[in-house]
Structure 1
Amino acid sequence: MIAFLDFVTIIGFDDLLYPLQNQGLSVVFTWVFMVLTFVIPYEMSVSQLGATFTEQEDGGLSSWVRHSTTDTLGYWTAWMYWAASLPYIVDVANSVVVSFGWMITGDNSLGKQMSNFTFGLLTFIIILIFILLQNFFKHSMEVMATIGGGAMFLMTVLFVVMTGYSLLHGGKIATQPFNLGSFIPHFSMQYFSTTGLLMFAVCGAELVAPYLIRMRNPKGDFPKAMWLVAIMTAFLTVFGTLSLAIFFNANNLPHDLKMNGSYYAFQLLGQRLGLGNFLLAIFAIVQAIYMMAQLAVLLDAASWVIAGDTAADFMPRWMSKRNKNGRPINSYVLTSGLCLFLLLMSGTLPDINSIFNWLLNLNGIVFPFKNCWVFLAFIAVRLQADKFDAAFVFIKNKTVAVAVGSWCFVFSLVCALLSFIPQDVKFATAAYDQQLLMNLFSVFVLFGAGLIMPLWARLERRKLRSEGDQYSAEK
């Protein structure tokens, strides 16, 4: 269950398309590099942290940072982690709208039939619906994650297997030349500025941290779940990308590949196998369930992080208020408000495809920043090995472990900073300037709003002290 909950939030079929569009066939080299030097260390670092803090509060990653460093850093971890999830929540809700568009129309005509306002309104309505569902149906998330995660992985395996079958029966490779030279990257600023999106595609393992306390044997079973996720991720990224390059010319990809590419892929596969649009119809249903499962997990886990184990000195008491079902209701309200801000920002872009791409690219900035906290906690735990005991230890040698954690920290930070450079638009154009300003302003609002909560909490405590003094005087 934990592995599927995690897999649902980490990577899907869509996550293969935008790296292919950004880097071409050379992205296979980048994926292999990422899996060996980042994904495995990342998953195993999360495993050790999870095995170390199995009985902490609801905060997950913020609890890990708080207990291994300071309360202040724990608060900023919680805030930045929560804020980083918001563009992804909006992006996933966008994808739900797109999936229903394909189920209803059977083609890519959504962008022509729907205005930016309608697209944004439907996205926001979907977010609100899922917030309400989670408050009334306690186990809806687990059921959807299991069905969606399992179905998406099976569809990806099916795509890879059927691609091989197609090649064995006379199928042509669309990407030419398809040789060793095509896999060698052309290192440039554009190449490095898009690597943050690959990091975004393979991260999110720590999102299941709040559910650790629900496992029967978290110290032994959580690392196994992380290994399973790492293996599934490696298979999906490498073999899925190679399969896509057989159906799409990686040197001349559709401009809306990020939004509609996965549907094009199953449409092309079905046509090549003589099945018409049958596989497309099946995938559209699976994609809808998968994206809705993502939305459920993200909204729930992110809201627990911001309302969980953040020190009382930093958060006003109303933020930790629970409703009758035990849900952090005001966290959901704040989540909805900032999601609406992102939708209003994206509404200034020319069309739905631009909106989809910009929100997706914004994840390449905020997620690598969030990853820095994972490795900060891992380094802190390894430097205080005498203080923390874990059933699972990633890299026995402390010096090597700290070096690996430091590499991942620096790599995440560099990817985050380079990702501010706009993608999908040409340099020195009005669109480039607009998206650069939108990137800077969005990150400033999402992360900078975290300064308000400690001030609010301080005013709240001051007011309570004043009321207490007044009560004592009257008494």
Structure 2
Amino acid sequence: MDNDAKKLRWYNIALMAFVSVWGFGNVVNNYANQGLSVITSWILIIALYFIPYALMVGQLGSTFKDGKGGVSSWIKETMGANLAYFAAWTYWVVHIPYLAQKPQAIVIALGWAATGEGTLVKEFSPVILQTITLLIFLFFLWIASRGISSLKRIGTIAGISVFVMSLLYIALAVTAPMLTGVQVATADMSVSSFIPEFNFAYFTTLSMLVFAVGGAEKISPYVNNTHNPTKEFPRGMLVLAIMVAVCALLGSFAMGMMFDSNNIPDDLKMNGQYYAFQILGEYYGIGNVLMILYALANTLAQISALAFSIDAPLKVLLSDSDDRYVPRALLKTNKRGTPVNGYLMTAILVGILIMVPAFGIGNMNTLFNWLLDLNSIVMPLRYLFVFLAFMALMKLSDKFISDYKFVKNNKVGFAIGLWCFVFTAFACLMGMFPKVPMFTSEWYFQFGLNIITPFALLGLGLILPIMARRKR
């Protein structure tokens, strides 16, 4: 009975996964891309991609319950050490664009909290603002190198606050017409307004949807801590999918009530979260109170996420490293256990990604949108290894025993894994096409960066084993 009391139930799994996977920004960014038609896109992406993805993670986590490296451990067991190193490298290196944008988000949140509007970042040139962004990043890199964990604890509280306020937004926004009598911003709420046009422009937005629902592999270590994992883990995943679907659908509908789907503001991705809470405060006659609370909480949450994302992915790469692949110089640590050369490599790569685009992209809003789109191209690359590991597991099912199986038929399981792999790769490739007017100088500049950046980041992972071999 005591052991059963310590087991996680399906609702624990669903809530833990929901907090790690979902965020209000997912609603704002995808509404900015597609308008009200994103509601149909959410239904399709959750049913055809997110649910099988989450259940695959459940089977992989259950099969390799003793693996400490997550995805890289799964790859190592099924496909060998060489590809496992590259999986670990990919997991770390896709965080570089993420780290380049977090300081931007901190500046924007502070600007809204201090001035009550989003004009602060518009008053400076991209070069000046990106220089400020770089200084903020280097400051928190130094903070993280000293092993200070208080920021992470503060950020956890702030992150929960942001999460609660995001749910509060949906509840207050959806009920606002009934409670306050406000007019809906999108005049056309006919069925046709919810149906996407499946054209080239639409397919370039798929990577943002994939980016939004990814990350379920974070909960894989908890499969074997679940009470009756064969039944309760998939139930928790299905409940997670329902929760994500409800928040995505209602959140997008609420955005359509506040922002005209046919006339979406150009800076909605950058400022949409703050606009939404500002308008909500106007609906209920409390001014900027909700917006300022959200901006302050989001500032602390972004700071924590920045500090954590500098440290944790790098330690995943280096903690279980093999000197056949990683030069020993990168493993050098100071008295606090900080991998100093690893931090230096992070600083160089992030610094390049912060400053170089500022010289070719004309304004801060465009720069923010580009970096967000770059994240949606690069971050899902790590999900490819989840699907590779699952396909390999289906091929080697006789060798491994799992308490929980997503599907009993291995050929069907392999086909589902292949579908998710191909769809993710397709979404990342289509995401490389910029969302600015085509064939302009800025379009070519962004397109070039979108191609060069992921290949350069992944290509560096091929160089390290060569360096390690020469050192040996």
TM above 0.5, yes or no, is yes
Aligned to 1:122: 132
Aligned to 2:431: 419
Letter in 1 for 2:253: L
2-side partners of 1:131 and 1:206: how far apart? 26
8 Å contact from structure 1 (residues 8, 149) kept in 2 = no
2-side partners of 1:46 and 1:299: how far apart? 25
Pair 1:101-2:106 in alignment:
no
Aligned to 1:131: 141
SS at match of 2:94: helix
2-side partners of 1:138 and 1:223: how far apart? 37
Aligned to 2:225: 217
Aligned to 1:33: 44
Deviations along 1:166-221, whole A, 9 cap, x unmatched? Answer: 12132221112112111111111010011111111221233566xx49x9937959
2-side partners of 1:132 and 1:199: how far apart? 32
2-side partners of 1:95 and 1:277: how far apart? 19
2-side partners of 1:30 and 1:244: how far apart? 15
Greater mean deviation of Cα atoms: 378-387 or 429-438: 378-387
Greater mean deviation of Cα atoms: 247-256 or 223-232: 223-232
1-side partners of 2:16 and 2:306: how far apart? 11
Structure 1 residue aligned with 2:161, among 124, 143, 151? 151
Structure 2: stretches of 5+ with no match in the other structure: 1-11
Aligned to 2:401: 389
Letter in 2 for 1:430: S
Letter in 1 for 2:91: Y
8 Å contact from structure 1 (residues 346, 355) kept in 2 = yes
Change in Cα spacing, 1:185 to 1:141, as seen in structure 2 (3 Å) is: same
Seq. identity, %? 37
Aligned to 2:305: 294
Which residues in structure 2 correspond to 1:375-386 (within 5 Å)? 375-386=387-398
1-side partners of 2:370 and 2:253: how far apart? 26
8 Å contact from structure 2 (residues 159, 297) kept in 1 = no
Aligned to 1:162: 172
Aligned to 1:470: none
Q: CA RMSD in A?
A: 2.6
Aligned to 2:4: none
Aligned to 1:13: 24
8 Å contact from structure 2 (residues 97, 371) kept in 1 = yes
1-side partners of 2:212 and 2:123: how far apart? 29
Which residues in structure 2 correspond to 1:323-362 (within 5 Å)? 323-348=334-359, 349-362=361-374
Letter in 1 for 2:111: G
SS at match of 1:347: helix
Structure 1: stretches of 5+ with no match in the other structure: 462-475
Aligned to 2:195: 184
8 Å contact from structure 1 (residues 101, 110) kept in 2 = yes
Pair 1:201-2:212 in alignment:
yes
TM-score (norm 1): 0.88
Structure 2 residue aligned with 1:69, among 76, 79, 88? 79
2-side partners of 1:303 and 1:207: how far apart? 16
8 Å contact from structure 2 (residues 146, 338) kept in 1 = no
Pair 1:237-2:251 in alignment:
no
2-side partners of 1:368 and 1:362: how far apart? 10
Letter in 2 for 1:182: S
Change in Cα spacing, 1:5 to 1:99, as seen in structure 2 (3 Å) is: farther
Change in Cα spacing, 1:395 to 1:310, as seen in structure 2 (3 Å) is: farther
Pair 1:445-2:453 in alignment:
no
TM-score (norm 2): 0.89
Which residues in structure 2 correspond to 1:81-92 (within 5 Å)? 81-92=91-102
Aligned residues: 456
8 Å contact from structure 2 (residues 65, 224) kept in 1 = no
Letter in 2 for 1:397: N
8 Å contact from structure 1 (residues 99, 288) kept in 2 = yes
Aligned to 2:89: 79
Deviations along 1:152-172, whole A, 9 cap, x unmatched? Answer: 221121111111331213222
Aligned to 1:473: none
Q: Tell me the CA shift for residue 97 of structure 1.
A: 1.4
Aligned to 2:318: 307
2-side partners of 1:303 and 1:7: how far apart? 24
Q: Tell me the CA shift for residue 8 of structure 1.
A: 5.9
2-side partners of 1:20 and 1:76: how far apart? 34
Structure 2 residue aligned with 1:399, among 411, 414, 418? 411
Aligned to 1:51: 62
2-side partners of 1:52 and 1:267: how far apart? 47
